[in-house]
Amino acid sequence: MELTRRDVLGFRARAQQLGREAGSTADTAVLDLGVQDTGTDGAAWALALRGVRDVPAEEVVLVWTLRGAPHLYRRADLSEVAAATAPFSEADAGKRIFDAARPLRAAGIPVLEGLDTVAARMREIVTEPMVKGEMSTRLTAVLDEPYVRPCVPCDAIHTYEQPFRLAALRAGLELEPGTSPPVLRPVPGFAPAAAPSDRLDVVRGYLRLLGPATPAHVAGYLDAPLADVKAHWPADAVEVTVDGQRRWVLAEDAARLTGEAPAGTVLLGSHDLFLQARDRPTIVPDRAEARQLWRPIGRPGAVLSDGDVVGIWRARKAGRALDLTVDPFGPVPPGLRAAVEAQAERLAAHRGLALRTLSMDG
């Protein structure tokens, strides 16, 4: 099957339920892979764009998982999420914790064993809600040298950041939503599952929500070695071609690859799943425009109109008002400004503010 870029973006927008009028946590597909809670609007705005405006607190849980980032999941899925997001292998664990793997290996400690050691100490320390800084200080005091490093800016000794984050769920700890600095607390009755279901499998989840894709795309998203992703590649993945490139999608989704993207305009948050795909040239082909969107620091949001990214946006709070600035990627077509203004009003209301100004040239 030969597909175009527009087919791919349309499939993803539909699979991710962007622009859906109403939904619940139970039927929201992106919660299978996790909704990253980064940025001012974070996971709550990502769910609102998919029709879930009021999220019952007892139905969801926030934990550090993929890439060490905070992600929101259904609480009922957490034991399987722990299994799904755990490293596939010793090599995978070493890749995911970056430079923290070197001192462990030099000391003859397998990385997976090291993560379990950190998790065990964390579990002993956090018996009630605890701020990350206090938790880190107490953890550093009970860990040996291979687990800690000198921090020049702080003039102190700390645990390595990625093992700290990736061990937290292994320790049965969740993040208290809305806290900064983060507060960790025990998950009542937590025990990881032996293996995840197909619905929560992260490789299948990527293909279902961000496909068609290659193993390299999935490996980049997970921070996992390519060999591990290939070893876990679904047997029911079928090959398609996207603008001449070989990619794969789950067989059950093959019949849904073509079709129009959901009509309308939405303001995607800076770390919305739609923007997390590792084939960035498919999403934004122009390199200069891509550099504007995926900035290393201070990443803006994206204006998605009829399934295509047509610009970037930034919002600034001023008292009880919100000012929104949009930089289009080209001439503004008829109707786009009005659509963006309606979404800006929606964003302001989501933040409990009133829209004051909308700046949009083009």
CA distance 305 to 264: 6
| pLDDT at 362 (0 to 100) | 64
In this predicted model, which residue has the larger pLDDT, 95 or 263?
Answer: 95
Rounded distance, CA 336 to CA 180, Å?
A: 36
Q: What is the DSSP string of 31-89?
A: HHH-EE--SSSHHHHHHHTTT--S--GGGEEEEE-GGG-EEEEEGGGHHHHHHHHS-SS
What pLDDT, on a 0 to 100 scale, did the predictor assign at position 1?
A: 86
Alpha carbon distance 333, 64 (integer Å): 40
- Helices 215-222 and 202-210 sit at what angle, rounded to 10 degrees? 110
CA torsion through residues 83, 84, 85, 90, sign = positive
The predicted-structure confidence for 4-55, as pLDDT tens digits, reads as follows: 999 999 999 999 999 999 999 999 999 999 999 998 889 999 999 999 988 9
pTM of this structure = 0.96
Report which residue type is found at 56. P
> What's the pLDDT score for residue 150?
85
> CA dihedral in degrees (34, 39, 43, 46; nearest 10)?
-100
